[in-house]
Amino acid sequence: MRRSSSTERAPAVTAAVSWPKFPYSASVRISLGCSVLVVSLLFAWGAWQRRWIADDGLIVLRTVRNLLAGNGPVFNAGERVEANTSTAWTYLMYLGGWVGGPVRLEYVALALALALSVAGVALAMLGAARLYAPSLVGRRALLLPAGAVVYIAVPPARDFATSGLENGLALTYIGVLWWMMVCWSQRLRTAGPGQGAPDGPVFLAAVSAVAGFSVLVRPELALLGGLALILLLLASPGWRRKLLVVVAGGLLPVGYQIFRMGYYGMLVPSPAVAKDASGAKWAQGALYLSNFANPYLLWIPAVLLLGLGAVLLVVRSRPWWVRHRAPAGSSRLTRTLQAPLVVVGLFVFAGLVQAVYWIRQGGDFMHGRVLLIPLFCMLVPLAVIPVVVPDGTKISREAGYLLAGATTVLWMSLLGWSLWAANSPGLGRDGTWVTHSGIVDERRFYSQATGHAHPLTAADYLNYPRMRAVLVAIANTPDGALLLPSGNYDQWDVVPAIPPPDAERTPDYIGPHTVFFTNMGMLGMNVGLDIRIIDQIGLINPIAMHTQRIEDGRIGHDKDLFPDWAVAEGPFLKEPPYLPTYLDENWVIEAQAALKCPATEAMLSAIRGPMGPRRFLSNVMHAADFTRYRIDRVPEVELARCGLPTPPLKGDKYTGLPATGP
């Protein structure tokens, strides 16, 4: 028997590993290229016109500064709190800051966020084009932008494209996963040599790893990535491939979760605890949905896109995945699950469930922010749509022209809505006021408050109330102090630090400073890393984080720790005349006693104690308990909860009731 030569084997090898190639017509290639280019340029231009860096984006940069300084992934040195929701964005910014060197971190964040936002939309369009590709082989057709135009037309989408937050990274992640899952779904039924999507172990491991990476981009994206992993697992034949999916998909997220539990002593990032992400505020969530949808009449594109989807189903009366049957050796389960329609359903379903989750949770205080990613997930299958010139092979030419005309009319209506929505006033004047809803147009709010049309750097935020004053207060208290925001925006209330013994004081001595304030991002980026910053809502304050959620508090800010706790836990003078008059000395005494609760001490030791193997393992074992742990923000009630005696108090106890007497 003659042995095959290497030249005879080459075509077979090439066909097995080649990337998908479809013989598009010139009209398909040109229209797709033009669609991607035009939409990308419009999105980039629109986002640049609304460029800014949010206060929450500056929170990320404070953590990056600590990483670059060698203090670890923390907000305050010596206190292991994971202040950022997106782990991947934090470390991507760290890499960008390390590579950028002297370039300001704000500009690195701006460039990365904008580039990733545009790339995410482009990838979604390429994935959708790939979805329709087999049906367009050899046919004259145009690929026109639809869902992509809807997304970039919504003003908050352009606002958060450069906000310094992880929105751009999330778009790119969804775009990559969408394209890879479409390629995977087409493998069984793609006809012709060299046209099959790569289905070897390398590609399967890659798409599994991308799916597993979801939770590191945004915790709620674990739904999308998890469903993709389940789909890959069920459809993969043989235990070896199933094991590959599990290992590749779980290695990075499980590894980081172990690190999070050991290093931070938590199961989730601190914002998830601070905002009680498992809580339910349906009424507030419905208000958030209407706040997002009503200004832009989002029901109009929803109806138009549903109409376009229905027309596409009629045009593709016998889809290619029906005409090209799966190989006989594949199982029925594989043939059922490894199909494009299943992948389309997965992304639409994941986006819908994410939207319902955010509505249940109450939404956010930033207009539209948390519903953008669910919206994008649901739009990717129709990011571009085909308009096919009828050839009379599948349906009559008359019917084909009628359907092509209907598609064109719907598409042009969609463009008309997009042009209107892109230039709509949005929330109008109400967008810069914190009303009963608690929702604001965050970009416009800070533009107005700082006097900068495009607040990008921490220095731009110095015009925000109290910001310049805090620098003056720190400079005027070299012996250290706790700074509390006063009613006067040009000054801070000062609680002096306990003076050190004269033997420890040196000419260059600088005392400890703690600033108690809500806007941690702008504050953290305008002061040194030696200044401790804590907040009352619990994003970075481990005590406030573990208090109970206030039922009627502002969404996203519905925890409110009294400043008495900041005095109690720090090295500050705790009696009059050093206390501001709005603080009660007895509350400080009770808070100081409440901090000795064994469970509270264990929780704080987990994040403040020296890190070593024993501490790491202990944190892993108790991370679930620390995550669930809650304290009461009223010191007296917290003492009772913990079973601690009330310490000796001074003078009359404050009750909040008017004094009585003759």
Question: Within 10 A of 262 (CB to CB), how many other CB atoms are there?
Answer: 20
Radius of gyration of the chain (CA): 29
Is residue 261's pLDDT more than 50?
Answer: yes
Cα separation, 376 vs 470, whole angstroms: 40
**H/E segment holding residue 484:** strand 481-485
Confidence of residue 2 (pLDDT cuts 50, 70, 90): very low
Confidence of residue 474 (pLDDT cuts 50, 70, 90): very high
Is residue 100's pLDDT more than 80?
Answer: yes
- Mean pLDDT value across residues 347-361: 95
Predicted pLDDT at 422? 93
Confidence of residue 196 (pLDDT cuts 50, 70, 90): very low
Is residue 291's pLDDT more than 70?
Answer: yes
Q: Are 638 and 297 in contact (CB under 8 A)?
A: no
Is residue 320's pLDDT more than 70?
Answer: no
Cα separation, 263 vs 136, whole angstroms: 52
Using left for φ > 0, alpha for ψ between -120 and 50, and beta otherwise, residue 236 falls in beta
Beta bridge partners of 493: 484
Higher pLDDT, 550 or 529: 529
Written as six digits, the tokens of 61 are 């940069």
Cα separation, 341 vs 321, whole angstroms: 9
**Which residue type occupies 648?**
P
- Mean pLDDT value across residues 515-532: 95
Is residue 198's pLDDT more than 70?
Answer: no
Inter-residue long-range contacts of 62-68, CB under 8 Å, 24+ positions, other chains counted = 62/520, 62/521, 62/524, 62/525, 62/533, 63/90, 64/90, 64/93, 64/94, 64/97, 64/105, 65/105, 65/525, 65/529, 66/529, 67/94, 67/97, 68/94, 68/97, 68/98
Three-class SS state of 384: strand
Question: Within 10 A of 447 (CB to CB), how many other CB atoms are there?
Answer: 18
Higher pLDDT, 165 or 393: 165
Percent of the residues in the chain that have a pLDDT greater than 90, as a whole number? 68
pTM for the model stands at: 0.91
Q: Angle at CA 165, nearest 5°, toward 162 and 170?
A: 95
**Which residue type occupies 321?**
W
- Mean pLDDT value across residues 88-92: 96
Cα separation, 468 vs 489, whole angstroms: 10
Three-class SS state of 528: coil
Q: How far is CA 66 from CA 35, 316, 503, 524, 616, in A?
A: 42, 55, 31, 11, 20
- Mean pLDDT value across residues 309-317: 71
For 74-118, give the DSSP string. Answer: -SBTTB-----S-HHHHHHHHHHHHHHTTS-HHHHHHHHHHHHHH
Confidence of residue 72 (pLDDT cuts 50, 70, 90): very high
- Mean pLDDT value across residues 10-27: 50
Confidence of residue 160 (pLDDT cuts 50, 70, 90): very high
Q: How far is CA 348 from CA 339, 452, 476, in A?
A: 15, 39, 57
Q: Are 5 and 178 in contact (CB under 8 A)?
A: no
Predicted pLDDT at 656? 54
Cα separation, 286 vs 283, whole angstroms: 5
- Mean pLDDT value across residues 230-259: 94
Predicted pLDDT at 397? 56
The three-state DSSP-derived secondary structure of 143-198 is EEECHHHHHHHCHHHHHCCCCCCCHHHHHHHHHHHHHHHHHHHCCCCCCCCCCCCC
* Residue 570: closest CA among 629, 519, 494, 637: 494
Instruction: Tell me the pLDDT of the chain averaged across its residues.
Output: 87
Confidence of residue 1 (pLDDT cuts 50, 70, 90): very low
Is residue 78's pLDDT more than 60?
Answer: yes
- Mean pLDDT value across residues 285-299: 94
Confidence of residue 398 (pLDDT cuts 50, 70, 90): low
Predicted pLDDT at 312? 79
Cα separation, 641 vs 104, whole angstroms: 47
* Residue 201: closest CA among 218, 184, 182: 184
Confidence of residue 252 (pLDDT cuts 50, 70, 90): very high
> pLDDT of 359-385, one tens digit each?
998 899 999 999 999 999 999 999 999
Predicted pLDDT at 644? 94
**H/E segment holding residue 518:** none
Q: Are 69 and 187 in contact (CB under 8 A)?
A: no
* Residue 93: closest CA among 74, 111, 81: 111
Q: How far is CA 266 from CA 262, 603, 619, in A?
A: 8, 10, 8
Three-class SS state of 316: coil
Backbone angles phi, psi at 509, to 5 degrees: -65, 135
Confidence of residue 654 (pLDDT cuts 50, 70, 90): low
Predicted pLDDT at 354? 96
**H/E segment holding residue 267:** none
Predicted pLDDT at 503? 58
Cα separation, 427 vs 430, whole angstroms: 6
Inter-residue long-range contacts of 527-530, CB under 8 Å, 24+ positions, other chains counted = 527/470, 527/471, 527/474, 529/65, 529/66, 529/69, 529/71, 529/77, 530/77
Predicted pLDDT at 426? 84
Written as six digits, the tokens of 366 are 């930033």
